[in-house]
Amino acid sequence: MNSTERKLAAQIAVLIFLLSLLSGTALARGAEPGSKAEALAGQTATPSTDKLDINTATKDQLKALPGIGDAYSQKIIDGRPYRAKNQLVQKRILPQATYDKIKDLIIAKQPKTTTPTAK
């Protein structure tokens, strides 16, 4: 290896180190203001989870999900209620690729049924 190749290899190594350092600090800072991740964090979620309920979410909340626009958000609303989130694909509401992008961000909660109390 000649000196030019060694210099190039050293520069590449420094570049890789700096990129990994920068990505680590970006992860430590969290989401950028105004990002979709921040928008999802403010959604109606229970304290135990930060997943968006597809049975109760508004059109704007659904549009904040990656890959979901006006058309898909309306199709999700029109197809309610869902017993499970994978019904978005089973009912042909979303293609598998779009579902794969959002499956970790959503949940399909069932409404709580109240039993009448005996008198």
pLDDT in tens, 69-92: 999 999 999 999 999 999 999 999
C-alpha to C-alpha distance for 8 and 10, rounded to whole angstroms: 5
Span 3-37, pLDDT tens digits? 888 888 888 888 888 777 777 655 555 545 555 55
Q: How confident is the model at residue 117 (pLDDT cuts 50, 70, 90)?
A: low
pLDDT of residue 44: 46
Alpha helix stretches (DSSP H) within 30-95: 36-41, 59-63, 70-78, 87-90
Joined together, the tokens standing for residue 41 give 């964090």
C-alpha to C-alpha distance for 117 and 119, rounded to whole angstroms: 6
> What residue segments make up the domains of the chain, in order of their start?
50-107
CATH of domain 50-107: 1.10.150.320
Output the average pLDDT for the chain.
Answer: 81
pLDDT(51) > 80: yes
Question: Residue 52 in contact with residue 62, Cβ under 8 Å?
Answer: yes
Whether this prediction's pTM lies above 0.85 is answered by no
User: Mean pLDDT, to the nearest integer, of 32-43?
Assistant: 51
Q: How confident is the model at residue 46 (pLDDT cuts 50, 70, 90)?
A: very low
